[in-house]
Amino acid sequence: MSQICPSCLHDNDPQEANCVVCGTPLTPPSSQPAATLPSGSVPPLHPSPNSSSHYQLHLQVGAVLKRGDYKIEKFLGQGGFGITYKAVYCPNSAKVAIKELWPESGYRQDPVVIWPPSITPTARKEQINEFKKESLNLRRCNSNHIAKVYDCFEENDTVYMVMEFIDGRDLSAILKNQPRLSEDKILHYSEQILNALENVHDIGLLHRDIKPENIMIDGQDRAVLIDFGTAREFIAGKTGDMTVFLSPGYAPFEQYSPRGKRVPATDIYALSASLYELSTGELPAASSDRATAVHEGKPDPLIPPRQLNPNLSPYLERVILTGMRLRVEERIQSAQDFRKALQGQFVSPLHQTAKNYLIQGNLNQAIQVYQTCLEREPDNGEAAVEFALILVHLNHDDGTSALNIARQAQQLQPQDGRSYGVCGLVYCRRQQWNDAVAALQQGVRLSSKEAWMHANLAWALGKQGDWPAAETSIQQALQLNPDCTFSLGVKAWINFHQRQWKAVVRAGSQGMFKSQQTPKEEEIRLKSWVYPLVISALERATGKTGGDAQRRLQAFLRDVPQHPLALGLQAWYQYQHGNLATCRQSLDLARQAQNCPEWVDKNSLLVYEHLNDLTTAIQRYQTYRQQHPDSAWANYRLGTLLAQRGDYQQAKTYLEAAVKESPNLAAAQHNLGWVLLNLRNSEGNVAAPQALLSAYRQAAIAYEQQGDRQKAQQVRSAFQALNINL
């Protein structure tokens, strides 16, 4: 027969001694054998511990303890391992409660407790010490919602704990007079009990027996947690009979085994079960019955509270049922988390695990747990938003996953603008600027304090050419987070297009300086596009190519080594100073880098023309054209070089391809006309005069369209001199 682990509910093989998942021992400790009596001896008669009368078991009214300090006034009740009395502290007549350790199957001779022979002297000493230890631990608690412990002493061959007397009724008694408590009252008492539990758990203790019967309500409507079960559970564990200690319905499944792990979530289950009863008037199904049903593939017999009380809010039902999960790790884990949940800040344990991985920077593990969380909790809108934010940060699969999760989040939390911001950022990366602006504008309307959304909205508006609106958005982003390096970079970019050169240098320099406090990868990514803006702005602001601009270029080359933009700018400066050889070297290095800009690639070809190395230039253009067969610019330059070399027929082929791809490329039309002028027939005449006239005519028109009227007029004047009107 298989064995269910009491801690994690894993179904283990019968031969396993420990759970293969969590390591919890599966074989309970063997019961201690009863001591045997000497031959011929007869044990004394004593009442059955199951008798309804406690007359001969408890101390009589008027009995005194600790040399007359305490006087018994009333018997209050008896549990499996203790008897509780109301007493008076004689020196000042203060009312107190006194708890007496009572051994199972024990009896009393006069005031002295007679321990049964089944409990050895060693075991008796262990029980007394555990009781005293519990008293000492409880004295460390300082919550106003835990019964204070004043004294602990041995007497009558047992031990007594003197505690605060709570003049009131327990919640179990209150429930007998009304079917259930109101939700407001439940929340009121829960807040106080959680205050007690936070104190208990913070000093490393557990209550182990939370139930309405152990929550007293005094005359000021104060809830007080009483009757801690630490010593009782220790005793029950020693006897091997946990059912004597357990409170069915309230006890979680791990308490059914002496060696099941006890953690703060053990108390959370019992408190949640208590709230279940307070809100429905019904005791919840025992965790042992629930575990058995689940193990056998049957439905969980726990009835959802709202089926018993439709007036209970769905939110409180969700909190209660999460606290009553069978698996320890799936419950609310701490009193602090339970308090937040009741205050409207509910985070499921699975969701919290995902958040913890995120805080630790373990994104891969966080992604896996978020996926599991949304599979098990498909209505968890906050988890969906957070998951979408992680996915858009990682930028996997072109943003498709982030977009899908963000849309799911919008259905669950339509008033959370962050999910719209995720969609907007994906659209930005896809260069779908209209969609990006629409999504980001909705995002900032709903969540106006998210600086990153304002910054991305500024980016998208700039791409649409709406620079005033972009400036407004980036200012809002920087008001919310003045240290955001991306926002400062976007501001520099916007100011560049507004031709505000000094503002570009100021914002760009601030962004790059502050980026030194970010991860190196982020710093390099920002500097790779902000440095060119600042360098170009410095040139335009000062009208010089040296000085500050040159120093920034050297910093660019140092901070972002082998970056194609930095090498391309360096080549440009070298060209302006006539250093064509070093210019060519810089451009060749730039072409070897990843993501080389097109203008750098083109300049690396043009430099060979300036070096008058036409053979290499033609070879390079031919290679470039193989990679870009539809490039009008490459066909234009290749045709022009071939014409310069006198290879007019080949030149004609490339130039015709250029003007076909780009009819308004005036220089290509002009050079095509020149090539056609040099292509003669056998009689020495122009082979295609109409094509020649058409090419020059198109060149003149294209020059005029480009605003270059001087060149257009030169073309027309040349033909007018021949009495030909283009």
Per-residue pLDDT for 48 more than 50?
Answer: no
The four Cα atoms 649, 653, 659, 665 give a dihedral, to 10 degrees, of -60
| pTM greater than 0.75 (yes/no) | no
At which residue do the structure tokens 């702005």 appear? Answer: 537
Per-residue pLDDT for 289 more than 80?
Answer: yes
CA distance 632 to 659: 7
Q: For residue 340, which phi and psi values (nearest 5 degrees)?
A: -60, -40
Percent of the chain with pLDDT over 90: 71
Q: How confident is the model at residue 173 (pLDDT cuts 50, 70, 90)?
A: very high
Type of residue numbered 172: S
Span 576-595, average pLDDT: 90
Q: How confident is the model at residue 22 (pLDDT cuts 50, 70, 90)?
A: low
Percent of the chain with pLDDT over 70: 90
Q: What is the model's pLDDT at position 235? A: 40
Find how far residue 45's CA is from the centre of its chain. 66
Type of residue numbered 63: A
Alpha-carbon distances of 137 from 205, 206, 412, rounded to whole Å? 8, 10, 46
* Strand ranges across the sheet with 149-155: 64-65, 70-78, 82-89, 94-101, 158-164, 149-155
Q: What is the model's pLDDT at position 234? A: 38
CA distance 722 to 689: 14
Alpha-carbon distances of 247 from 62, 215, 273, rounded to whole Å? 32, 14, 11
Q: What is the model's pLDDT at position 24? A: 62
CA distance 539 to 5: 74
Per-residue pLDDT for 51 more than 50?
Answer: no
Q: What is the model's pLDDT at position 247? A: 87
pLDDT 10s digits, 77-95: 887 678 999 999 999 999 9
Q: How confident is the model at residue 236 (pLDDT cuts 50, 70, 90)?
A: very low
Cβ–Cβ < 8 Å for 141, 200: yes
Span 653-670, average pLDDT: 95
Q: Which domains does the chain have, with CATH numbers?
A: 64-165 (3.30.200.20), 168-346 (1.10.510.10)
Span 673-681, average pLDDT: 94
pLDDT 10s digits, 628-640: 989 999 999 999 9
Span 128-138, average pLDDT: 90
User: Which residues, 6 or more positions from 384, have their beta carbon under 8 angstroms from its beta carbon?
Assistant: 374, 405, 406, 408, 409, 412, 413, 419
Length of the chain: 726
Q: What is the model's pLDDT at position 44? A: 41
Average pLDDT over the chain reads: 88
Q: What is the model's pLDDT at position 227? A: 83
pLDDT 10s digits, 190-202: 999 999 999 989 9
At which residue do the structure tokens 């023309």 appear? Answer: 609
Q: How confident is the model at residue 546 (pLDDT cuts 50, 70, 90)?
A: low
Give 126-129 contacts, CB < 8 A, sequence gap 24+: 126/234, 126/238, 127/81, 127/101, 127/103, 127/231, 127/234, 127/235, 127/238, 128/101, 128/154, 128/158, 128/159
Span 140-153, average pLDDT: 92
Find how far residue 105's CA is from the centre of its chain. 55
Q: Which uninterrupted H or E stretch holds 154?
A: strand 149-155
Q: What is the model's pLDDT at position 484? A: 97
Type of residue numbered 113: V
Per-residue pLDDT for 45 more than 90?
Answer: no
Closest by CA to 133, choosing from 85, 203, 76, 218, is 203
Cβ–Cβ < 8 Å for 210, 250: yes
